[in-house]
Chain A
Amino acid sequence: MTAALLAITARALLNRRRTLLLALLGVLLVLVTVLYRLGNPSDTESLEVTRRLLGDFGLGVLLPLVAVIVGTAAIGSEVDDGTIVYLLAKPVPRWRIVLVKLAVAWVVVVLLVVPAMVVSGLIGHDDPGLAVAYAVAAIAGALEYTAIFLGLSLVTSRALIIGLAYVMIWEGVVAGLFAGTRILSVRQHALAVAEAVGGESAVQAELAPGIAAGAAIAVTVVAVWLAIRRLERVELRGETA
């Protein structure tokens, strides 16, 4: 039962054209880092710039973009075109559907983002600790982002645009302005994880690791719970109601 769910979700998510375009973003990150390295920067400079590349580009743009597209597609595309009925017309507990889809989407996001970040980190600065720290942060952030967008896609049909708006406005602007909102910012959670793994040399996060971890877990659990609830109550009207 679970295997079939995994297989269907994986095949549907790995739509060739979309996956290729998303992978290109990761390639772009690597290329930009290579371009930077060609200028032969000093060690302190490369640390700072690689930090910014991995933090602002990798965690700040690449991860949320990939997560929003994959996360909303995991269930959203099936609800959109009506094929969700084939999944729902089975005696499969709804929580299992949500968890399997979340797992597959998470793995896909990680595969599209983390290798690029690791390669970029290793090229940009010789200390592998930096790359590892940000990679772990990306893995954690991917789970949280994907859970949020998966839940969002069950709440609204325009989840993709709203997710993008969230990333740009909330993460980009609001969390920068109002310190109190940082506790709810996925990017800040991820940065705190990076600091916990790589030390202060890797990144100086705004949140303490304990608080960030707690908040991240709370957000993820709430998102998953919401998604399960909505899936249990999803109503299919049909084309000619």
Chain B
Amino acid sequence: MTASPEAPTGTIYDIGYRHYDGPRLGRRGAVMAIVGAGLRAVFGLGRSGRSKVLPWGAVVLALAPAVVAVAIRVLAGDLIDLYSYENYLWSVGILMPIFVAAQAPELVVNDIRQRVLPLYFSRPIGRFDYAVAKLAALAIGLLAITLVPVLVLFLGRILAAEDALAALGDEAGALPAIVGSGIIHAVALASLGLAISSLAARRGYAAAAVLAIFLVGGVVSAIFAESGAGLEEFAPFFNPLAILDGAREWLFGGTVAESPVGIAGLPLWTYGATALVLVLVSWAILALRYRRIPT
């Protein structure tokens, strides 16, 4: 591109490739970029409407009961309590695996399938940063289902009470349990879903695999819980959601009536241990998967 050479003072502007001399964000910046992009992918931002349906639909469905419960609280006082903090997650239980099954594949499968991984790993990131970043994105996204609705419930109770400050004092004790339980569920389910998805060849297969685990586990767990032949002890261990419920109860207390944990009667630390094992195994799978990059 040249400017006009006719004028006595002519300049040629070279608007071509330019070297970048500005600040470089380094490893931290790169990892945050992956997390940010991952979060956008998890909620379908920047993509067609169809990819927003599942994640946002799940979030809305998870929030709806909390909103309804708060509305009832406002109208009818604390006569009726639809949900306690403990059993809320169990009630919306099915939405968590759906969310994970729908969005975990979006995060990892296409990068492998379209051979884009070398682009990531030729940047200044650590060996496991990619997996950690993707995991963080999915877990943060999951918080929208595991934490936000329960917080809505919490805030609703406080704001609906006549004396808000007193209510805050009453309810505040439950806050650690709410936050802790929400984080545990998010991290564990994200780890599990991401690990399975990273092994799949296509997004459909990844989603099917994740759902299969929860469907099969849920069915077997339900059958065993009601079998009455001494198998109730095994019931919770087939269902990842039950395992997490047990871990929650071990750490923060508060029984959920519908969960097979109560029927099983096993010491609660077994659930905590199992949950930990599940998470560690998932992380191991992810680490192994991304140790060698397929070009």
Contact = CB atoms under 8 A, between A and B. Distances in A.
Direct contact of A and B (CB under 8 A): yes
B222 interface: yes
B219 A164 contact: no
A39 B205 CA distance: 35
Nearest to A158: B204
Interface stretch (B31-39, B69-77, B223-231): B223-231
Interface in B161-218: 202-205, 207-209, 211-212, 215-216
Contact of A61 (B102, B216, B226, B234): B216
B223 A52 contact: yes
A176 to B, nearest CB: 13
Contacts of A69: 205, 208
A36 B224 contact: yes
Contacts of A164: 101, 207-208, 211
A60 B234 CA distance: 21
B220 A49 contact: no
A10 B58 CA distance: 38
A72 interface: yes
B229 A49 contact: yes
A158 B203 CA distance: 9
A61 B207 contact: no
Interface in A42-65: 45-46, 49, 52-53, 56-57, 60-62, 65
A26 to B, nearest CB: 11
A177 interface: no
A155 B223 CA distance: 36
Interface residues of A, number: 30
Contacts of B234: 35
Contacts of A46: 229
Contact of B219 (A40, A61, A161): A61
B205 A160 contact: yes
Contacts of B211: 164, 168
A39 B204 contact: no
Given A61-B216, A68-B208, A161-B204, A45 B223 contact: no
A25 interface: yes
A46 B202 CA distance: 40
Interface of A: prevailing SS: helix
A21 B201 CA distance: 13
A106 to B, nearest CB: 19
A36 B229 contact: yes
A60 B229 contact: no
A42 B169 CA distance: 53
A53 B223 contact: yes
A210 interface: no
Nearest to B97: A168
Contacts of B205: 18, 69, 160
A85 interface: no
Given A36-B224, A52-B223, A45 B215 contact: no
Given A57-B223, A61-B215, A61-B216, A72 B204 contact: yes
Contacts of B229: 36, 39-41, 45-46, 49
A8 interface: no
A234 interface: no
Contacts of B222: 56
B216 A28 contact: yes
A161 B202 CA distance: 11
Nearest to A40: B229
Contacts of B230: 39
21 contacts: A25-B216, A28-B216, A36-B231, A39-B227, A41-B228, A53-B223, A56-B219, A57-B216, A57-B220, A60-B219, A61-B216, A61-B219, A62-B216, A65-B215, A68-B208, A72-B204, A161-B102, A161-B207, A164-B101, A164-B208, A168-B211
Q: Which are the 5 A-B pairs with shortest beta-carbon distances? A: A160-B204, A41-B229, A39-B229, A39-B230, A49-B227
Interface of B: 98, 101-102, 202-205, 207-209, 211-212, 215-216, 219-220, 222-224, 226-231, 234
Interface of A: 18, 21, 25, 28, 32, 35-36, 39-41, 45-46, 49, 52-53, 56-57, 60-62, 65, 68-69, 72, 158-161, 164, 168
Given A21-B209, A39-B230, A72-B204, 15 more contacts: A25-B212, A35-B231, A39-B231, A45-B227, A45-B229, A46-B229, A52-B223, A53-B223, A57-B220, A61-B212, A61-B216, A61-B219, A65-B212, A158-B204, A161-B204
